[in-house]
Copies of this chain bind each other. A is one copy, B any other.
Amino acid sequence: MRGAVLYAPGDVRVEERADPVVERPSDAVVRVVASCVCGSDLWTYRGVSRPSRPVPMGHEYVGVVEEAGADVRTVAVGDTVVGSFFASDNTCEICRAGYQARCVNAVPIGSLGAQAEYLRVPLADGTLVATPGPPDDDLLPSLLAASDVLGTGWFGAVAAQAGPGRTVAVVGDGAVGLLGVLAARRLGAERIIAMSRHAPRQALAREFGATDVVAERGDEGVARVKELTGGLGAHGVIEAVGTQESMMQAIRSTRAGGHVGFVGVSHGVELPGRELFFAQVHLLGGPAPVRRFLPELIDLIWTRQIDPGRVFDRTLPLDDAAEAYRAMDERTAVKVLLRP
């Protein structure tokens, strides 16, 4: 089959890879209908995370089950499925508490490579959720978004305790930040402050439910959020970037007793303990337990109550994966969908 492989920073190639097969009875092999490039893939693409050898890429996918291992019970050959970016058994104590990305048997899908024609999904029952039927083609982008960026924005909003009567600020205007806005809105937040300086992203943030847009960053951005919140800061802040500046901006934009949901993969971040102590904000972050939210998210998409697929502003054939990475790296695209 064809699949994307990163050889070195900036060097993504689509080449022949071995066809995946069912290796364990809990595996399923999925024919990938849609995949995409993630903001977190760019850390590797840019050389911030440097793999020591060529690695398959991609961890977001919608597909059709092609083959299912003997133990697979909840999805069947022919089902359209969406899966999370960590395979999880969904039965261990950590999964049952709702933290499936940290399942005791977790397998990162990124290590298997979803930017490909086929994907082996370990722990299929605990990882995949079938759609109610074959989806209309126009639902594919939204279903694909549920696999990571929507689930991640949703987790950020849940961790930021978005809800009725609350003001939520969102640091980061990539797909995750934009879908954090959508999630905060669906969860009932009264006021949503999107922090973005890019007009098209500001516009999408407003469509997703942002009530205010703040273009300033860093200390100025913090000051603007405080101005908008009676000097106190937001009740909750979603951090969707992962840098030192964005983390500190998120923490400082949150009122005492408020909640920071940080879902941008941290790179080079060191949090000063003393400031964190006196800030007295709740912090929760990390890889989103997408599997926790998938049934609800698929339902919201299936019934056309949300349209998270709007974050995809470009579609390319899988063979053009290199161009997809380039476009996202240069920020000429918010998110690129790849069709095998």
Residues on A close to B: CB < 8 A? Answer: 93-94, 97-99, 101-102, 104, 230-232, 242, 244, 247, 255-257, 262, 265-274, 276-287
Give every chain B residue within 8 A of A266 (Cβ-Cβ): 273-274, 276-277
Q: How many copies does the complex hold?
A: 2
Contact A276 B271, beta carbon cutoff 8 Å: yes
| Cβ B274 vs Cβ A280 within 8 A | no
A60 to B127, CA, bound (A): 53
Query: Whole-angstrom distance between the alpha carbons of A239 and B94 in the complex?
Result: 22
Cα-based distance from A272 to B266 in the complex (angstroms): 9
Q: Quick one: given A270-B271, A270-B272, A284-B282, are A277 and B256 in contact (CB under 8 Å)? A: no
Contact of A273 among B94, B247, B277, B278 (CB under 8 A): B247
Specify which of B97, B268, B280 is in contact with A101 (CB 8 Å cutoff). B280
Known: A99-B256, A274-B267. Is A93-B232 also a contact (CB below 8 A)?
A: yes
Which residue of B101, B272, B283 contacts A283 across the interface (Cβ within 8 Å)? B283
CA distance A301 to B103 in the complex (A): 42
Choose among B242, B268, B277 the residue that contacts A265 (Cβ–Cβ < 8 A). B277
